[in-house]
Amino acid sequence: MKHKDLGRRDFLKKSTAAVFAFTIVPRHVLGGQGYMAPSDQLTKGIIGVGGMGRGHIEYEGTRLLAVCDVDKSHLAQAIAQAGGKIDGYHDFREILMRPDIDIAHIATPPHWHGIIAKMAAESGKDIWCEKPMTRTIGEGIKLVEAVQKHGRMFRLNTWFRFKDQFYGLGTTVKPLKKLVDSGVLGWPLKVTVSGITGYDWKFYWSGLHNLKPMPVPSELDYDFWLGPAPYKPYNPERVHAKFRGYWDYDGGGLGDMGQHYLDPVQYMLGKDDTGPVFIEIDAPQQHYDAVGSWRRITYTYADGCKIVLDGENRDKDAAYIEGPKGKIYKGFRTDIKDVHRLIDSLPDPEPQIMTFSESVRTRKKFALNESNGHRSCSIVNLGIIALRLGRNLKYDPARQVFIDDEGANRLINPPMRGAWKM
* Alpha-helical runs (H) found in 64-159: 72-81, 92-96, 113-122, 137-149
What is the pLDDT, as a whole number, of residue 21?
38
Q: pLDDT per residue over 166-187, tens digit each?
A: 878 889 999 999 999 999 999 9
3-state SS record for 240-261: HHHHHHECCCCCHHHHHHHHHH
What is the pLDDT, as a whole number, of residue 164?
84
Compute the distance between CA of residue 105 and CA of residue 96 in angstroms, rounded to an integer. Answer: 11
What is the pLDDT, as a whole number, of residue 6?
39
CA 276 to chain centre: 18
Q: pLDDT per residue over 241-289, tens digit each?
A: 999 999 999 999 999 999 999 999 999 999 999 999 999 999 999 999 9
What is the pLDDT, as a whole number, of residue 357?
97
Q: What is the DSSP letter of 331?
A: G
Compute the distance between CA of residue 412 and CA of residue 199 in angstroms, rounded to an integer. Answer: 28
What is the pLDDT, as a whole number, of residue 60?
93
* Residue 47 domain-assigned (yes or no): yes
Q: What is the DSSP string of 98-121?
A: -TT--EEEE-S-GGGHHHHHHHHH
* Residue 130 domain-assigned (yes or no): yes
What CATH number did the domain enclosing 78 receive? 3.40.50.720
Structural domains counted in the chain: 1
* Residue 37 domain-assigned (yes or no): yes
* Residue 345 domain-assigned (yes or no): no
- Extended beta strands in 274-391, E state: 278-282, 296-300, 306-310, 321-323, 326-328
- Extended beta strands in 3-76, E state: 43-47, 63-68
Q: Spell out a b/e string for 310-330, using b for 16 or more CB atoms within 10 Å of the CB, else e.
A: bbeeeeeebbbbbbeebbbbb
Task: Find all residues with CB under 8 Å of 282, minimum gap 6, and list them.
Answer: 294, 295, 296, 297
What is the pLDDT, as a whole number, of residue 169?
85
What is the pLDDT, as a whole number, of residue 393?
98
* Residue 225 domain-assigned (yes or no): no
Is residue 394 within 8 Å of 284, Cβ to Cβ? no
Task: Find all residues with CB under 8 Å of 80, minimum gap 6, and list them.
Answer: none
* Residue 174 domain-assigned (yes or no): no
Which own/partner pairs from 7-11 qualify as long-range (CB within 8 Å, at least 24 positions apart)?
Answer: 7/90, 8/70, 8/90, 8/91, 8/221, 8/224, 11/91, 11/93
* Residue 46 domain-assigned (yes or no): yes
Domain residue limits at 56:
8-156
Sheet of 87-89: strand order equals: 87-89, 63-68, 43-47, 103-106, 126-129, 154-156
What is the pLDDT, as a whole number, of residue 167?
77
Sheet of 393-396: strand order equals: 326-328, 321-323, 190-193, 306-310, 296-300, 278-282, 393-396, 401-402
* Residue 106 domain-assigned (yes or no): yes
Q: Name the pTM for this structure.
A: 0.92
Q: Which residues of the chain have pLDDT under 70?
A: 1-39, 201-203
